[in-house]
Amino acid sequence: MQSTLSLSFSPSSSAAAVSRSHTTRFSLNTSTPLNLRFCGLRPQALAFNASGNHRSSKLPSRPRSQAISAALSANGSPPKSFDYDLLIIGAGVGGHGAALHAVEKGLKTAIVEGDVVGGTCVNRGCVPSKALLAVAGRMRELQNDHHLKSLGLQVSAAGYDRQGVADHAINLASKIRNNLTNSMKALGVDILTGFGKILGPQKVQIGSSDKIVTAKDIIIATGSVPFVPKGIEIDGKTVITSDHALKLEFVPDWIAIVGSGYIGLEFSDVYTALGSEVTFVEALDQLMPGFDPEIGKLAQRVLINPRNIDYHTGVFASKITPARDGKPVRIELIDAKTKEPKDTLEVDAALIATGRAPFTHGLGLENIDVVTQRGFVPVDERMRVIDSNGKLVPHLYCIGDANGKMMLAHAASAQGISVVEQVTGRDHVLNHLSVPAACFTHPEISMVGLTEPQAREKGEKEGFEVSVAKTSFKANTKALAENEGEGLAKLIYRPDNGEILGVHIFGLHAADLIHEASNAIALGTRIQDIKLAVHAHPTLSEVLDELFKSAKVKAHASIPVSEPVAV
């Protein structure tokens, strides 16, 4: 740590010292003064170290902001004083995270929302789906006679009330929505109702009214809507998106799910637990693209094959017609490569889970000369918006699904916090490889960093070796106590220096287990160090403990033996 820090400082902050040491090197050839100088530098480096290492790049960012303000005054357009320090367009999880952090940093903050507070995640996404998945998980347990019997349990036939399940999801969403609203109100964040439209630099119109608000910095956090490929007719009843499915207005006998990513997979878990049969339609050659192949294979073996699910891969749903006049939902499938008609499905319902499209239309981006790419707002690694000439738009940032970097609620929030750090004078770049992701099936899937093929490709390109370690949930006491030994944790790492490149978990509570790995990646903790950390026994966290311990790293632990602590 020390060595890297002092290295990064040497070019900028200690120019004088360097030049002086040059002179000393020439004049005095003894080692003593040199040592003294370096001793003088060291505490400085350590002081920076203590205050957080993002400071290291603080200095280079300053001149840039000066240049920006100069350019602004040349235009003559920026307002003299602002209504707010920070204005966030969109009160989803990303906007909320940014607002809270902005208040903590002492910024006068407002948030603009044209729909409901909470955005997709809270109202039509992660939150209500977790309510349905919680029900699904319990139904699965109660229906699994074999599993119950092996625990010595007897349960009479489990059943469910559809409206009751739907109400649970709706109630959860409204509860979280209220929590979010109240947390912002309590902190003094102004919630402005209406769709935000950018009129010019640092200027936003709220709704169709004449109300115009100015702010020093603006964050676009407008999120996304379900993406519906052309040829598919959504009627909201038999051909639906996740928006409708979360209301659980009916549980079809047979539902086709178009797309086998996170959303499709989670809904297949819900629907099969509630008694539906599911047919996946996947455009790629295998189910669950995007997951580490090995995890995907195991997940298919556990989440797809034994359930009432079949699938068509390598096909597009070219046309989907809703059920009407006593006819079922019709899905026409064409080969993904040759575009030849391949098959037709007749099912009771179809759920379109083909991903999400950014919601950036009507945002007034044309007023500041920004052209979206497939709807996404182009940004640099600091979430600064880039205009059509490839230049940064001053004081404008875009986070979350609207920029498409990583379409996850917590990624949006992290990006928002990163932006607030920047506008309050501390440069910060979010490491997206440290952002974990999870799929809440039963059991869960979680991941952080690179997949094995990605890591191998990177290793080949950059010339380092890549190793893989694996542990099974079958060897974990707690998992066996729960009778849930099905699962795998996989670590992809560099054996030379112990860097964690990726961790993938499939098994009981995988979504909660991933954070030890994602935190290690975010903080740069190496395997040789983390493997010495202690895990309570017996817990599922020992799966990761074993995983780190089974890695074969050549480097030794960097933490020196500390003072003994009396207990």
Partner 1 sequence: MAHLLHTPFIPSSSSSAALRRSSASSGTRRPPVSPGVVRAKIREIFMPALSSTMTEGKIVSWVKSEGDKLSKGESVVVVESDKADMDVETFYDGYLAAIMVDEGGVAAVGAPIALLAENEDEIEQAKSKAQSPSSASSSASSSPAPAAAPAVEAQSDKAPVKAAAAAAPAVASTHPASEGGKRVVASPYAKKLAKELKVELGRIVGTGPLGRIVAKDVEAFAASGAAAAAAPAAAAAPAAAKSGSGVELGSVVPFTTMQSAVSRNMVESLGVPTFRVGYTITTDALDALYKKIKSKGVTMTALLAKATALALVKHPVVNSSCRDGNSFTYNSSINIAIAVATEGGLITPVLQDADKVDVYTLSRKWKELVDKARAKQLQPHEYSTGTFTLSNLGMFGVDRFDAILPPGTGAIMAVGSSQPTVVATKDGRIGMKNQMQVNVTADHRVIYGADLAQFLQTLSQIIEDPKDLTF
Closest Cα partner for 419 from 11, 127, 33, 88? 88
- Shortest reach from residue 239's CB to partner 1, in Å: 16
469 binds partner 1 (CB under 8 A): yes
Span between the terminal Cα atoms of the chain, in Å: 29
- Which one of 62-70, 225-233, 282-290, 465-473 is the stretch in contact with partner 1 (CB under 8 A)? 465-473
Q: Which stretch binds partner 1 (CB under 8 A): 85-93, 375-383, 468-476, 536-544?
A: 468-476
Q: Which is nearer to partner 1, 348 or 512 (CB)?
A: 348
Q: Counting contacts by CB under 8 A, is residue 346 touching partner 1?
A: yes
- Distance (Å, whole) CA 135 – CA 241: 20
Task: Output 91 or 347, the one with its CB closest to partner 1.
Answer: 347
Q: Does 301 bind partner 1 (CB under 8 A)?
A: yes
- Site for partner 1 contains 333 (CB under 8 A): no
Judged by CB under 8 A, the residue of 16, 39, 50, 157 near partner 1 is 157
Q: Is 537 labeled as catalytic in the residue annotation?
A: yes
- For 43, counting Cβ atoms within 10 Å of its Cβ (0-12 exposed, 13-18 middle, 19+ buried), the class is exposed
Q: Is 466 in the site for partner 1 (CB under 8 A)?
A: no
**Residue 2 or 305 having the CB closest to partner 1:** 305
**How far apart are CB 463 and partner 1 at their closest, in Å?**
22
String marking each residue 478-517 x if it binds partner 1 according to CB under 8 A: ----------x-----------------------------
The contact pattern for partner 1, residues 419-458, with x = CB under 8 A and - = no contact, is: ----------------------------------------
User: Which residue lies nearer to partner 1 by CB, 39 or 157?
Assistant: 157
152 binds partner 1 (CB under 8 A): no
CB of 461 within 8 A of CB of 526?
Answer: no
Rounded to whole angstroms, the Cα distance separating 551 from 494 reads 9
By CB under 8 A, name the one of 168, 470, 535, 549 that touches partner 1.
470
Rounded to whole angstroms, the Cα distance separating 247 from 241 reads 11
- Which of 293, 314 has the CB closer to partner 1? 293
* Pair 260, 289: CB distance under 8 Å: yes
DSSP assignment of 198-243 equals EEETTEEEETTSS-EEEEEEEEE---EEE---TTB---SSSEEEHH
Of the candidate spans 105-113, 211-219, 464-472, 491-499, the one that interacts with partner 1 by CB under 8 A turns out to be 464-472
**How far apart are alpha carbons 479 and 540 in whole angstroms?**
6
Of 52, 78, 422, 356, nearest in space to 223 by CA: 356
| Backbone dihedral region for residue 194 (phi beyond 0: left; psi -120 to 50: alpha; all else: beta) | left
The pattern of x and - marking residues 517 through 536 that bind partner 1 according to CB under 8 A reads --------------------
- Out of 57, 472, 519, 539, the only residue in the binding site for partner 1 (CB under 8 A) is 472
Least gap, CB of 305 to partner 1 (angstroms): 7
Cβ proximity to partner 1, 475 vs 533, nearer residue: 475
Task: Give me the catalytic one of 54, 442, 535, 537.
Answer: 537
48 vs 506, beta carbon nearer partner 1: 506
305 contributes a contact to partner 1 by CB under 8 A? yes
HSE on the CB side for 529, CA within 13 Å? 16
* The binder of partner 1 chosen from 298, 396, 466, 540 (CB under 8 A): 298
Q: Is 115 one of the binding residues for partner 1 (CB under 8 A)? A: no
Prior bond of 443 cis (ω within 30°): yes
Binding to partner 1 (CB under 8 A): which residues in 267-286? 277-279
Beta bridge partners, 392, equal 386
Shortest distance in whole angstroms from residue 327 CB to partner 1: 8
Radius of gyration of the chain measured on its C-alpha atoms: 27
Residues that bind partner 1 (rule: CB under 8 A) add up to a total of: 28
- 459 to 390, 466, 493, 531: CA distances (angstroms): 31, 6, 10, 23
CB of 556 to partner 1, least distance (A): 23
Residue 348 within binding range of partner 1, rule CB under 8 A: yes
Burial 200-224 (b: 16+ CB within 10 A, else e): bbbbbbbeeeeeebbbbbbbbbbbb
Which of 21, 472 has the CB closer to partner 1?
Answer: 472
Number of Cα atoms under 13 Å in the Cβ half of residue 350: 27
- Shortest Cβ distance from residue 164 to partner 1 (Å)? 16
Looking at 172, 468, 501, 544, which residue binds partner 1 (CB under 8 A)?
468
- Determine how many CB atoms are found less than 10 A away from the CB of residue 365: 22
Which residues face 385 on adjacent strands? Answer: 379
Report DSSP state, residue 286.
S
Helical packing angle, 93-104 and 409-423, nearest 10°: 30
Residues 227-266 that bind partner 1 (CB under 8 A): 253-254
Counts for the chain of helices (H) and strands (E), in that order: 19, 23
Tell me if 458 sits within 8 A of 316, measured CB to CB: no
User: In whole angstroms, how close is the CB of 263 to partner 1 at the nearest point?
Assistant: 19
Residues binding partner 1 (CB under 8 A): 154, 156-157, 159, 253-254, 277-279, 298, 301, 305, 308-310, 327-328, 343-344, 346, 348, 468-470, 472, 474-475, 488
The residues carrying an active-site annotation are 537
